Structure 1
């Protein structure tokens, strides 16, 4: 497992790679979609533009999150990453609504009279291939760095690859004299943008309100309870600070133990959580077991 600084640097590199590719693809698709008369490819271009905004927001959030603790931020600045993701969700939703509106207007008008040029389909398929490669790179990097933010970016990369394939299929359908298929593809892409924005919003809001996966907490509780000297886990709770888990646990030990021995048990709990789950901040409160 890489250290915290190196992990964040690698995660930032993955976000920058996605940002650079998204910029190229957004410009290429918007130009190709306008030149070839494809609503689907233009919508896909707007989709990539929303990804640019999201990547910029995530990158800025990562930079701010790296700032050390200060007097006004005793827990550090890790949640800046969550706030940037929240802003990105609003940007994405706005673009998604615009794409849906344009697609619906064209669809209700009967679609375009002429089918889009095959150039648009070629651009869409080439984009799908590029995004799938970026997806593979970011998935591997996310696993190595244990970065939740980069894992989310990778998931979006795969979604973008599938969206581009859908845009290409819409053009093929238009050439088969289904004029409505290309604007319908734009409509579907706009809906997918809004869906992604909503998922990002809900996930970020969950983190900002100190929500945490109950299944993980149950695993932590079970493993801590098995530590030698721990009689019982009285309480356990966790929250996210950026990509880092902050775990707070209250354990009960034999009331006859010395302070030194109790402290050693607490240290063992901390080492266990760091080794198995890469939790670097485990706060252990020790209580004596009630005498019966």
Structure 2
């Protein structure tokens, strides 16, 4: 199945992110301690959470590839979402730790300014993360993977954080050491914000939330299918990168089974052109037309 092939291809992006984050986090933490930069150390801790998040994505992609079984008849596609939920908790803990350290640093400022090497490392990290972002974004567009696309956006945010870190370090080097501590504080807030966003997205998915804009688009597409008289109901839910949509429509009651089935197939094809990773269950009902006698008794 193409979906599982795409999930396996998505692992390349996860492995690239993991390797890059391990290298950059180690470099930032070491240089940050040696060069006396709180902001670079905070950025390094930020990348350690990214390692965890990338591993969670990798594990989720692996488990999601397991086929349906007796206990999981819809497959294991939500494993990726559960892994993201766990990663959000870990990221929140690290973010709070960075925030706590930064707040203490505001009241116990370090007189020494960070070295120029820390700023160079921050800029180098930003460049590396931008390259990884471009790769993962291209991969996500190729395989139509929302998980890899989310990882790409995380790569982009890390590149921006590193640029901000470099700005803070330059400010400290030129006589304003408090800027380095303030930048570390901001990095901590960014980590917490990202954790909350990942947590909320996972909760929405696990509670069968479905995008309202996509629902309206599907309603319009289905209503325009030849043979559909009325769209009575449409429900959707997400399982990883897959969407499951239940549709109830009315058709001419005089149609035979084959004709009604053709309309059902057309609806499925229409939805899958809009979203190839969507499984559609169509329920067809006869369109009820009130008789003249019934209309006379209608008030």
| TM beyond 0.5 | yes
Secondary structure of 1:233's counterpart equals strand
| Structure 2, unaligned runs of 5 or more | 291-299
Contact 1:93–1:197 at 8 Å: present in 2 too? yes
Contact 2:233–2:247 at 8 Å: present in 1 too? yes
Other-structure match for 1:142: 140
Q: TM-score, normalised by structure 1?
A: 0.97
Other-structure match for 1:291: 289
- Distance of 2:194 and 2:103 partners within structure 1: 19
Residue number among 215, 223, 226 corresponding to 1:225 in the alignment:
223
Distance 1:255 1:279, change over 3 A: farther
Contact 2:8–2:61 at 8 Å: present in 1 too? no
Q: CA RMSD in A?
A: 1.0
Superposed displacement of residue 152, structure 1: 0.8
Other-structure match for 2:165: 167
Deviations 1:116-163 (A, max 9, x none): 111111110000000011111111111111111111111111110011
Deviations 1:80-124 (A, max 9, x none): 111000000000000000001111111121x21110111111110
Contact 1:138–1:151 at 8 Å: present in 2 too? yes
- Distance of 1:264 and 1:192 partners within structure 2: 51
Superposed displacement of residue 276, structure 1: 2.4
- Rg comparison, structure with higher value: 2
- Distance of 2:223 and 2:215 partners within structure 1: 12
Contact 2:64–2:79 at 8 Å: present in 1 too? yes
Aligned positions, number: 290
Superposed displacement of residue 194, structure 1: 0.2
1:30 aligns with 2:29: yes
Other-structure match for 1:116: 114
Secondary structure of 1:265's counterpart equals helix
Please give the residue correspondences for 1:1-292 in structure 2 after superposition, counting only pairs within 5 Å: 3-109=2-108, 111-292=109-290
Superposed displacement of residue 43, structure 1: 0.3
Runs of 4+ in 1 over 3 A off after TM superposition: none
Superposed displacement of residue 279, structure 1: 3.6
